[in-house]
Amino acid sequence: MENYPYRINDLGHLEIGGIDSVDLVKKYGTPLYVYDVSIVRKNCRAFVEAFKKLGVKAQVTYASKAFSSIAILQVIKQEGLSVDVVSEGELYTALQAGIAPQKIHMHGNNKSRSELEMAIEHEIGCIVVDNFYEIEILTEILRKKQKTADVIIRVTPGINSDTHQYIMTGNEDSKFGFDLHNGQVDQAFQLIRENKYLNFKGLHCHIGSQIFETDRFVTAANILFQKIEEWKGTYGYTPEVINLGGGFGIRYTENDQPIPLDEYVYRLVEVIQNHCSRLNMEVPEIWIEPGRSVVGDAGVTLYTTGSTKVIPNVRDYVAVDGGMTDNIRPALYQAKYVGLLANRANQKADTVVSIAGKCCESGDMLIWDLPIPKVKKGDILAILSTGAYGYSMASNYNRFARAAVVFIENGIDKLVIRRETVKDIVKNDLSYE
């Protein structure tokens, strides 16, 4: 536990943000997502302050796909971050949370006309243009409304990051962005610069997610600067903005060795500054878009244990009252997590079990081979570092209701997303009788 931001209290219970997890379960039930808000704030500040310390112009944009809700975006707003959205739903949530439209950026590889219209209507701060089709519809909308929009180009740098294939995004064979190597980026640059409705601000790239080496980001920056050098030479153009995306890795298990968040910033700024002095140009505003590293380690999911199945000499299964509907990451990416008994967190592990979810799906497993004290029915299982891409990827598969979300700060717990009910499950169903 020493590498995780939790405490075990005198009763042997896991405490989250100073509150006994057993009390939380009594009050709110399970499955329950619990966030220690002080950790979210600490993560935001690590990024913001690192830029401040270096005195560079920067924008830290929270990638709200990691976890979007009105409450979390209010915290993000209080910490001064901008917000990146990829859908009308995320945009609407950001606006409802009171994020200033100028501090909202829109991403997406197939933004719909209505998403772009909504973005333009609200005059959001920046649209990260991903493809030629988008340039076309964006121009049509802007022409009709006689408005302009600030845009940056998403570049596919052609880098393989050392992460799961499904969360790599900067590799050459990727659905995202304009390719650097076959002239697409240059073509997009020309189209946008000639377009009176689009204000071209700069370049973006996101190389993937859960990345631990700063070298990958340095490589991405080097690649972008090759293009910048070329454009500077040919057109005398220099960008106002360089956005290096998100993807900073966090600790899920003891095998993960994350780099302190401010170190990513120091390294990125260093490489950008070096390129700028080499090219004798002003340092552009530096943008980053962390999602996971803002909320991931701030979240814990609490479950109640139920049925067990022992297959002698093979495996002991312990089932909990959630699963892939609240955390699809193990099933989708073979993601690994640390789990412990929150109500007996002081007891030594004396057995090994595998934690199953309750969906009708053999792949619905949360943790394989977890060392744990002998589990009794009704124990509380805590899974750590579930703050990112847990709730946001939750589903109603098997018509399970989505779990509730509780925030804890200054020793006070507060429900911020209600637990769904069976009524919510059928609320859009229409009768056919």
Using CB under 6 A, pick the residue from 289, 321, 326, 364 that binds ligand LLP: 289
Using CB under 6 A, pick the residue from 35, 51, 389, 407 that binds ligand LLP: 389
Q: Which of residues 157-186 bind ligand LLP (CB under 6 A)?
A: 167, 169
Place of tokens 């507060």: 414
Q: Do residues 60 and 82 lie in contact, with contact meaning Cβ atoms separated by under 8 Å?
A: yes
Q: Say how far apart CA 59 and CA 44 lie, in whole Å.
A: 12
Using CB under 6 A, pick the residue from 103, 206, 251, 402 that binds ligand LLP: 206
Q: Say how far apart CA 235 and CA 228 lie, in whole Å.
A: 10
> Binding of ligand LLP at residue 284 (CB under 6 A)?
no
Active site residues: 360
Using CB under 6 A, pick the residue from 103, 227, 292, 344 that binds ligand LLP: 292
Q: Do residues 315 and 321 lie in contact, with contact meaning Cβ atoms separated by under 8 Å?
A: no
Give the CA count within 13 Å in the CB-facing half-sphere of 221: 27
Point out the annotated binding site. 247, 289-292, 329, 333, 361, 389
Query: Residue 44's closest CA among 92, 69, 77, 71?
Result: 77
Q: CB of 128: closest distance to ligand LLP in angstroms?
A: 7
What is the distance, to the nearest Å, from the Cα of residue 68 to the centroid of all Cα atoms in its chain?
9
> What is the x/- site pattern for ligand LLP, positions 7-46, by CB under 6 A?
----------------------------------------
Q: Which of residues 102-161 bind ligand LLP (CB under 6 A)?
A: 107
Q: CB of 298: closest distance to ligand LLP in angstroms?
A: 13
> Binding of ligand LLP at residue 251 (CB under 6 A)?
no
Point out the annotated binding site for substrate. 292, 329, 333, 361, 389
Q: CB of 176: closest distance to ligand LLP in angstroms?
A: 7
Residue type, 260: P
How many chain residues touch ligand LLP (CB under 6 A)?
A: 21
Using CB under 6 A, pick the residue from 31, 125, 158, 245 that binds ligand LLP: 245
Classify residue 414 by its DSSP letter: E
Q: What is the DSSP string of 108-131?
A: -SS--HHHHHHHHHTT-SEEEE-S
Residue type, 250: I
Query: 35 or 248: whose CB is closer to ligand LLP?
Result: 248
Q: Do residues 309 and 316 lie in contact, with contact meaning Cβ atoms separated by under 8 Å?
A: yes
> What is the x/- site pattern for ligand LLP, positions 331-360, by CB under 6 A?
--x---------------------------
Name residue 32's beta-bridge partners: 302, 404
Place of tokens 């009709």: 144
Query: 239 or 390: whose CB is closer to ligand LLP?
Result: 390
Q: The tokens of 1 are what?
A: 């536990």
Q: CB of 313: closest distance to ligand LLP in angstroms?
A: 34
| Dihedral pair phi/psi, residue 431, rounded to 5° | -75, 150
Q: Say how far apart CA 195 and CA 140 lie, in whole Å.
A: 11
Q: What residues make contact with ligand LLP under the rule CB under 6 A?
A: 63, 66, 107, 167, 169, 206, 209-210, 245-248, 289-293, 329, 333, 388-389
